[in-house]
Structure 1
Amino acid sequence: MDHFLYRDGALFAEDVPVTEIAAAVGTPFYVYSTATLLRHYHLFDEALAGTEHLVCYAMKAAGNMAILRTLAQAGAGMDVVSQGEYLRARAAGVPGDKIVFSGVGKTEEEMRVALEGGIRQFNVESEPEMEALSRVAQSLGKVAPITIRVNPDVDARTHAKIATGKSENKFGIPISRAREVYAMAAALPGLEIVGIDVHIGSQLTELEPFEQAYGKVAELTEALRADGHTIGRLDLGGGLGIPYTRSNAAPPLPTDYGAMIKRTLGHLGCEIEIEPGRLIAGNAGLLVSSVIYVKNGEGRDFLILDAAMNDLIRPAMYDAHHDIIPVIEPVPGAEQHPYDVVGPVCESGDTFARQRDLPELASGDLVAFRSAGAYGAVMSSEYNARPLIPEVLVNGDQFAVIRRRPSFDEMMNRDTIPSWL
């Protein structure tokens, strides 16, 4: 469920007409719903009720500080994968003891910043990282709490570019070597083992791969405890998918996911951490764009928008589907017309949809891309010298620009001409 609905013939974001936002900020822009963000966070939190747990929002999905503060005030922790994300989370008001630091390539500087600023745990992904973290913690006179990310060699049955739990993926250590690596960690000064970490991929649409991976984690927990390690925390990652098209079967609900976690791991008495990102932010955001031209081609018509692949790269990168709807509600029974929906960037890959049936549209009409809240604005760029587009947050009948569009002068002034030119 989201809070983007037609009302009186026009699309609303909660209680704000999308046309009103477009008139105020110009197109294209992202708009997020506070009510949807909070609803999705609370679904996960309630799904784990009765267990000690923390829902850590994976902020790589949508990292604007207004979104982070909205979720933090509701009680969410954060999962970060870089120094920049860590600093944004802290600036948004997230305490260090609610921040989990993930990622395969943490630098010693990132480790230092997190140790000095406060951290819940590092999810360590390799022996060299473990040794580096030990050195940094010792140099600061601190102890770094760690989990070790294990790779369970489970097929998440998702897109190859967002699968992370197979043996050929770069993430984690093979679960077959876990006991050996945990013994190494226990012998290193400056480290405190607090648990186990696992994450098998993103946009999973069934629970079976999760259950396979968590079953292996349960067995590993008991084996590590038998080896003398304190395993009090299980970080289970994220990855639960969202319905990008309303015609497809819906992925499992957070309530079903929570019940599976309790069934698989509840007997261990561990604190549970989960790191949802897409399911919290995905359906909480729209990308709104204007039609520049309708171009009649040979055998097909093109809907040329002012949004482009640099604003929403998922279709070009993943062949991802986003429902596209007119901002002004079509009349019942309106005739549909097939369009190739494209942007103005000089790449054939700047195509959002091919032969998509839509009501007839004309220059100046507004369209909205649904389910654009996750991996949209955060993956955008200034390719073709196109400015980053505004982000807008709606709360009831209010809206605010939470990232403005830079001017061309601001973009050019970031460049420096060397003295010899």
Structure 2
Amino acid sequence: MSYFSYQNGNLHAENTPLSTIAQQFGTPTYVYSKAALADHFSAYADACTAGGRDPANTLVCYSVKSNSNLAVLQVLNQLGSGFDIVSGGELLRVLAAGGDPHKVIFSGVGKTRDEMRLALSHDILCFNVESIPELHRLNEVAGEMGKRAAISLRVNPNVDAKTHPYISTGLKDNKFGVAYEDALACYRTAAKLPNIDVTGIDCHIGSQLLDDTPLLEALDKVIELIDQLASEDIHLHHLDIGGGIGITYDDEKPVAVGAYLGRLFARIDAWRNEKYQGVPLKVMFEPGRSIVGNAGILLTEIQYLKYGVSKNFAVVDAAMNDLMRPAMYEAWHGVQTVSQQNPDASSHTYDVVGPICESGDWLARARELAVAEGDLLAFQSAGAYGMTMASNYNTRGRAAEVMVDGDQVHLIRKREEPIALFALESLLP
């Protein structure tokens, strides 16, 4: 299904013209499709129950960092999602959206004592522990509260995800997780701590993976470790294989979610049948981008067309503070005109740039467009790591966010006003 398509020459989000959204809410504005969110989550949920698989033996935990708007979390919670968080603030967001803390896993390398206390007070499902010092701190905090902390170790399998180095997390040089060679000793330590319950194992090797071969390679290494633990009477209850499945930004052809999960479950089932008489092990996932990435666009208006000797620029009212990925990763986002271009109209090659005083403030390079000042553009595939990475650089208020449900449009985050940006600041006496 196409969630953003031209109807009668005008680009729509589901059944709503983007031009109408711009008139009502201004620009820049993030626009999300509720149907896209539901369908992308269902790809995971349906694969988890294919072939009569017991839904109690799987859990899809949406990665909150990819898009943490309360309405997005609300939609996914209503569909039965769990949540993968990386901060105490993200836990509070999940709770505010009605999420069940017993379906929350807490990842991240730098959990503070206060964050641990917050998570323990809400009895979250599991902490994904990423170092021995963190393990000992969590044991101390849980003891002070008279609680036991359920943990899995995030194991770094040293598998190359073959993705951008900034979003690769499974190599030995990455900051994430416990080295594979050290994992067995770490589990032995964890099993002896008085306030720790060892419940699972976690592995996440990177993001925007187009091929599932590295994921299945990592799975094999995790299975080997689980067998070693079982031989020492350390029995796990769940396996969290992380997320990372990519999306189409340009011409990429990512593996289909159903095909990947089918291969993964086949491998797990064969192993469990051979070694454990078919006793199930709960399998968990942490998808983010593959659920929300292509469920959103960034809507912006052209302010000026600037023609030069070697380059032409389309200056828009969105900027790197709104969509950081191009400046940070040199990431590609497709650009569409909201009014369908006339093939006979005069076109030029433009760099699409924002108004921020940085040469790195560009959103797209060398795009062929037939446009005029005042025209609207839509940046595709902007639902993940768009608004969550936005800033207030140059004292720019962050964009509005709306959710489209058929022909209904809901404002789910108001545009920030400049005066609010310094409301917490004080002049010297």
TM over 0.5: yes
Q: Are 1:405 and 2:415 an aligned pair?
A: yes
- Contact conserved, 1:148 with 1:196, CA < 8 A, in 2? yes
> Letter of the aligned partner of 2:159 in structure 1?
V
The question of whether the paired residues in 1 share the 8 Å contact of 2:10 and 2:339 is answered with: yes
* Contact residue 347 and residue 371 of structure 2 kept, 8 A: no
Measured after TM superposition, the shift of residue 336 of structure 1 is 4.1
Give the 5 Å matches for 1:10-409. 10-49=10-49, 50-51=53-54, 52-245=57-250, 248-266=251-269, 267-268=271-272, 269-332=280-343, 334=345, 336-358=347-369, 360-409=370-419
Could you list the runs of 4 or more consecutive aligned residues of structure 1 that deviate by over 3 angstroms after TM superposition?
332-336
Moved more, 1-10 or 18-27: 1-10
2:412, 2:2 → 1: CA distance?
20
Which secondary structure does the structure 2 equivalent of 1:139 belong to?
A: helix
Q: Distance in 2 between the 1:343 and 1:139 partners?
A: 50
1:264 Cα deviation after fit: 2.5
- Partners of 2:69 and 2:248 in 1: how far apart? 23
1:301-344 residue CA offsets vs partner (Å, 9 max, x unmatched): 11110000000000000000000000011234655421111111
Distance 1:34 1:85 in 2: 21
Deviation of 1:140 after TM superposition, in Å, equals 1.0
> Which consecutive unaligned segments of at least 5 residues does structure 1 have?
none
Secondary structure in structure 1 of the residue aligned to 2:218: helix
Alpha carbons 1:2, 1:284 under 8 Å: kept: no
Structure 2 residue identity aligned to 1:148: L
CA contact (8 A) 2:16 2:406 kept: yes
Q: Return the alpha-carbon distance in structure 1 between the equivalents of residues 198 and 365 of structure 2.
A: 50
TM-score by length of 2: 0.95
Aligned-pair distance for 1:414? 2.3
2:60·2:287 contact (CA, 8 Å) conserved in 1? yes
Name the CA distance, whole Å, in 1 between partners of 2:419 and 2:263.
53
Distance 2:178 2:223 in 1: 16
How large is the RMSD of aligned CA atoms in angstroms? Answer: 1.1
TM-score, normalised with respect to structure 1: 0.97
Aligned-residue offset at 1:357 = 1.6
Q: Which amino acid aligns with 1:215?
A: D
CA contact (8 A) 1:2 1:283 kept: no
> Within 1, Cα distance between the matches of 2:380 and 2:296?
7
Q: Is the 8 A contact 1:95 1:118 kept in 2?
A: no
The offset of 1:118, in angstroms, is 2.0
Partner of 1:418: 428
Q: CA deviation at 1:196?
A: 0.5
Checking the alignment, whether the CA contact within 8 Å between 1:61 and 1:278 is kept in structure 2 is yes
Letter in 1 for 2:155: V
State the percentage of identical aligned residues. 46
1:412 offset after TM fit, Å?
Answer: 2.7
3-state SS, counterpart of residue 158 of structure 2:
coil
Q: Is the contact between residue 239 and residue 276 of structure 1 (CA under 8 Å) also seen in structure 2?
A: yes
Look up the SS of the partner of 2:234 in the other structure: coil
**TM-superposition CA deviations, 1:98-120 (whole Å, max 9, x none):** 10100000011101001101200
Distance in 1 between residues matched to 2:375 and 2:408, nearest whole Å? 24
Q: CA deviation at 1:259?
A: 1.1
Which residue identity is paired with 1:250? K
Q: Greater CA deviation, 227-236 or 1-10?
A: 1-10
Summarize the Cα distance change of 1:334–1:206 in structure 2 as closer, same or farther, 3 Å threshold: farther
Q: What amino acid sits opposite 1:4 in the alignment?
A: F
Classify 1:412/1:177 alpha carbon distance in 2 versus 1 (closer, same or farther; 3 Å). closer
Contact 2:15 2:407 in 1 (8 A): yes
Offset of 1:263 from its aligned partner? Answer: 2.3
In structure 1, what is the Cα distance between the partners aligned to 2:232 and 2:343? Answer: 67
Give the whole-Å Cα distance in 1 for the aligned partners of 2:343 and 2:6.
Answer: 13
For residues 42-101 of structure 1, give each alpha carbon's deviation from its aligned partner in whole angstroms, at most 9, with x where no partner exists: 001111211510100001000000100000000000000000001100111111111010
